Amino acid sequence: MDDAFGIEPPPNGRIIRNLILGSNFLQSHILHFFHLAALDYVLGPDVPPFVPRYQGDYRLPEDVNKQAVDNYLQALNMRRKAHEMTALWGGRMPHQQAIVPGGVTEVPNSQKIFEFITRLDELIDFIDNIYVPTVKAVAGAYSDYFDIGRGSMNMLAYGAFPQEEGMDHIKKNKFFPAGIYLRGQYQELEPDKITEQVKYSWFKDGIALTPDQATVEPDVDKKDAYSFLKAPRYNGEVMEVGPLARAIVSKQKDVVALGEKAFSVMGRHFARAVEASTLANTMKDWALKLEAGQPVSTPHKIPSSAQGMGLTEAARGALGHWNRIEHGRTAVYNAIVPSTWNMSPRDDRGQLGTMEQALIGTPVKDISNPIEVVRVIRSFDPCLACAIHIMTPDKKVISQFKIN
């Protein structure tokens, strides 16, 4: 909307947007590791939510494993703190309501700034002294997973958390810079090279390939199709997005030091933990730059016709929205979300998506208990809601597939 309207938020609005998004990053990263992925490595007691579970291959020493189970419970409280931080500026969490065209709706005051920083300090302590060390302990016990789940090894980041005002999505200074890492080479991001393909998706062929024009028509009987996801590509290349991509594009020293092993299951977990620490420690400086009582949004009028593009980073990776306004109304709206990049099916050239590539060659000890496969998939922090579209009230099976 900002891009379509030709407006930018004032400094307070920019900072508060960053604090809302940053708080969501922190809760999401904590959720992913402790409550979604760690249970593939940590053996909990035989009670929910630790059961049901995959069997075997739990390697952590008993004392470390016990501490990790305790951390699961503490992480729930830390997520609550991050939700409260979002709600201070966004009204509620999830589904904050404060971000609007031109800025935000919440005016900062000293009390809100104090409450935000108080909670943030607790999160910083948890991330630096529990989250990061726990990830390192798991990585030490499962070091073979630095060689499993390579993926495409091509990285894309739109960049996030702008540090200055400016209409240019790409060139403005951001905490996480925009960029491309393709076949071992760094490149500048060029958004007009982004396309979407549907040869193996349950959509009719012949749609516009560029996201600013794309409209879709379902085709659930399409021959050879196997996903409701489209196949986004950058200049025809398969790309990975997410914390690992942001770390590679920004040349984060600890992640880059891993070399090729960064492109792996454990590399993704490590990059996510490092990012949480870096971001949390920086957000305090942002909060202290807020000016109580100063404007938080830019007045504007909705244009009769316009076109806009919004590029940012969600916790899971590069998030792009494209819209076109005609006669004061939305005529076209399209989004390419992070999991669509990572979980895409084959494209028109038959190239596998990055998660598909990561799964190939994964050793599976017991096909009836494929914990290794799950570990690869969960390292991407997939948002499966993006690909699951249909459920009947009577739970009738619509289609069933067996993957060999």
Q: What whole-number percentage of the chain has pLDDT above 90?
A: 85
In a domain, 394, yes or no: no
Rounded mean pLDDT of 184-188? 98
Q: Of 377, 391, 314, 373, nearest to 343 (Cα)? A: 377
Pick the more confident residue, 228 or 215. 228
The range of the structural domain enclosing residue 11 comes to 2-386
How far apart CA 218 and CA 205 sit, in angstroms, is 10
Sign of CA dihedral 89, 93, 97, 102: positive
Q: How many CA atoms lie within 13 A of 24 on its CB side?
A: 20
Has residue 389 got a pLDDT over 60?
no
In a domain, 169, yes or no: yes
- Tell me the whole-structure pTM to 2 decimals: 0.94
In this structure, of 236-245, 302-311, 383-392, the range with the lowest mean pLDDT score is 383-392
The pLDDT assigned to 404 comes to 44
In a domain, 403, yes or no: no
pLDDT band of residue 401 (cuts 50, 70, 90) is low
Residue 179 bridge partners (DSSP): 157
In a domain, 118, yes or no: yes
Sign of CA dihedral 283, 129, 45, 55: positive
Q: Decide: 334 and 320 in contact? Cβ < 8 Å.
A: no
pLDDT band of residue 219 (cuts 50, 70, 90) is very high
Rounded mean pLDDT of 249-273? 98
In a domain, 78, yes or no: yes
Rounded mean pLDDT of 270-281? 98
The pLDDT assigned to 386 comes to 58
How far apart CA 169 and CA 103 sit, in angstroms, is 15
| Domain count of the fold of the chain | 1
In a domain, 31, yes or no: yes
pLDDT band of residue 307 (cuts 50, 70, 90) is very high
In a domain, 41, yes or no: yes
Residue 119: phi and psi, rounded to 5, are -70, -40
β strands within 45-113, DSSP E: 99-100, 103-104
In a domain, 393, yes or no: no
**Residue 208 sits in a domain of what CATH number?**
1.10.645.10
Q: What is the mean pLDDT of the chain?
A: 93
How far apart CA 231 and CA 144 sit, in angstroms, is 30
